[in-house]
Each structure stands twice: as structure tokens, then as C-alpha cells.
Amino acid sequence: MNIKLFKLIDEEDIKNKVKELAEKISSDYSDKELILIGILKGAFVFLSDLIRNLTIPCLCDFIKVSSYGKGTESSGIVKILSDISIDIKDKDILLVEDIVDTGLTLKYLIDHLSLKKPKSIKICALLDKKERHKIEIPIDYLGFTIPNKFVVGYGIDYDEKFRYLPYIGYIELEKS
């Protein structure tokens, strides 16, 4: 199988958008204790750039989930592979996601984290594929709306490949 890679969002546009999101988040949470929860593995690059651009103190934790396996379509079944370690009771939470596809993963995580009784849960997503939503999830801080393509780069992978790209691209698979 051949993989063709195309650029969708360049490095400079990502950098500018992350800075813009961080400014808005810093303003909105200037007088609150914020905990960012990165959704692994795809959001780790986005979260690291985002947190370096924040101008407020915050805590950071991660939750690792799986819903894709090795394919390009979500299985629709979300599994928590590693849960958060910080107590989030009565805290303001910002879930940091690389891409909102069907919305099923975020819905599952919001329900899961709500059981831990945080003060609030908001969503920050770098990318949103609106046409793929099965569940509407309010995205409080959004980077880019993208077409229904399988994207890679900037931490996002296909079969653990392409995370290293400094831009967002999309791939097309061709049978050889």
C-alpha cells in the first residue's frame, strides 16, 4: 500500500493559532486554578506548545485513550488505557484534544471525568471535522475546522507514523 501525503495547515499557521488560543485561555482563567488534561497520544505536541504560550499558572495531567487501533476509522469503542493522576474535585478542567472526529471520545471522557466532580470541564481542540460528528460536543477553544480527511502530523499519527511532522497534513492510501 502506498501512502500519499499532502500539506493541509502549515507550521506558521499552527504556531499563530496556538498563541491565539493560549491568550484567550489565559484571559478566561486569569483568576482560576486551571488543570489541563491532554488526551494521549495525539494531543501531546499541541498541549506542550499551548502550555508554553499560557501566561497563567496551571497544572497538567494526561489521560490515554484508544478508539482507532491501526485503521483510519474510529472503532467507536473508547477505552481508557491510563487515567489521570491529579485530584480534579472542584477544579476547572480544560480537556486538550488533537482532533474532534465523531465526538464519541470526548463525550466518553466528559462523562468519565464528571464522576470525579470537577467545578467545570471545557474543551480545547486543535482540529474539528464537523461533518463526521455523531454527537455534538461544544468546543470552547478551537484551532481549525478541517475537511473529512485522515490527518497526520503535529503529534497526530497513522499507525504511529508521521507524528514528527511540524505541520498538519493528510494522507491518501493507494493500493499498489
Q: How many CB atoms lie within 10 A of CB 142?
A: 16
Closest CA to 51 of 27, 25, 85: 25
Q: Which residues are marked as active site?
A: 101
Give CA–CA dist 35/61, Å, rounded.
7
Give CA–CA dist 54/32, Å, rounded.
13
Give CA–CA dist 49/74, Å, rounded.
26
Give CA–CA dist 8/16, Å, rounded.
15
The C-alpha angle with vertex 155 and arms to 131 and 171, in degrees rounded to 5, equals 55
Give CA–CA dist 166/168, Å, rounded.
7
For residues 167 and 10, the answer to whether their CB atoms sit within 8 Å is: yes
Instruction: Extract the C-alpha cell encoding 69.
Output: 487501533
